[in-house]
A = this chain, B = another copy of it.
Amino acid sequence: MSLIAVGTMAFDAIETPFGKTDQIVGGSATYVAYAASNFVKPILQVSIVGYDFPQAEMDELKKRGVQLEGVEIVKDKKSFFWSGKYHLDMNTRDTLVTDLNVLLDFNPKLPESYQDAEFLMLGNLDPTIQKNVILQMRKRPKLIVMDTMNFWMEIAMPQLMETLKLVDVLMVNDSEARQLSGEFSLVKAAKKIMQMGPRYLIIKKGEHGALLFHEDKVFFAPALPLEVVFDPTGAGDTFAGGFIGHIAKTGDISFENMKRGIIVGSAMASYCVEKFGPERLKEINKADIDLRIQEFVNLVNFDIELV
């Protein structure tokens, strides 16, 4: 099965209570690709970079089965750059710099070779761009998953609502779910959001885990209690990559299999936060991933008899 991953490939400068980086590779599609490529090949990447994006990173991704035909390289502009500083609790951060650079020109055209992809992961982007990608696909993918953020709710809500009508699974964090629905209770928020288009809703709660809603069903996956969260950047995108990677690998879009996808995504995210940027994701192999998944099984497993 093949998977299209749409999103940014960029540079980040990150400051956490544990350290600081000047300029490292980041971007939603980068994290999605590193996570998903453990499960499915090819990943059909759709993004835009400037002249400064490292060839070594492109080569590393290619080696992992990521096709870059859909990655536009702009010769006279810089790549998207984001800089942020995390607070001590690691759940909140301040954005220091946002240089859109090439992102201002991002108007992706799907290569012909991407047309038969069965799975589409739309990383956090302008909802109009997300919609344009969906509309370019001649055959609707088996599953369309979309990430978004509060920023688009503030400046492009009508466009966001249009795109929501076209997707199967929406991923947001808890405060975004509240903002999008106007409901404080996540149960009520989920009901409202599932009337906007997505039949499935994943609410990410960071260190408090994730919820999956569908019809009247709900599934909860914890986050692994970690001694150190070194850098949370990209954890949400890595979660998305693990989720859609597992779904694309199995080709199974049932609720039961999405539960597994969420555990896989959580396991991948728990590795991501151990080092700066996607560094840790490049080190791990299948045995590491299985080990982490087993930790999740142990973490929530209980056996109760109702007598």
Cβ distance A172 to chain B, nearest Cβ, rounded Å: 15
Interface string of A224-245 (1 = CB under 8 A from B): 0111110000000000000000
Using Cβ atoms and an 8 Å threshold, which residues of chain B touch A222? 209, 220, 222
Using Cβ atoms and an 8 Å threshold, which residues of chain B touch A229? 185
For the complex, give the distance between the alpha carbons of A303 and B229 in Å: 27
Cβ distance A40 to chain B, nearest Cβ, rounded Å: 15
For the complex, give the distance between the alpha carbons of A132 and B306 in Å: 37
Using Cβ atoms and an 8 Å threshold, which residues of chain B touch A226? 185, 187
**A184 close to B219 (CB less than 8 A):** no
A window 254-275: CB within 8 A of B = 256, 259-260, 263-264
A-B contact pairs, 27 of them (CB 8 A): A89-B184, A185-B226, A185-B228, A186-B225, A187-B225, A187-B227, A208-B209, A209-B222, A218-B225, A218-B299, A219-B299, A219-B302, A220-B222, A220-B225, A221-B300, A221-B302, A256-B302, A256-B303, A259-B302, A260-B303, A263-B302, A263-B304, A264-B304, A290-B306, A293-B306, A297-B304, A300-B300
Q: Looking across the interface, which residue of chain B has its beta carbon closest to that of A213?
A: B225
Q: Is A98's CB within 8 Å of the partner chain B? A: no
A window 195-211: CB within 8 A of B = 205, 208-209, 211
Cβ distance A33 to chain B, nearest Cβ, rounded Å: 23
Using Cβ atoms and an 8 Å threshold, which residues of chain B touch A297? 304
For the complex, give the distance between the alpha carbons of A63 and B92 in Å: 50
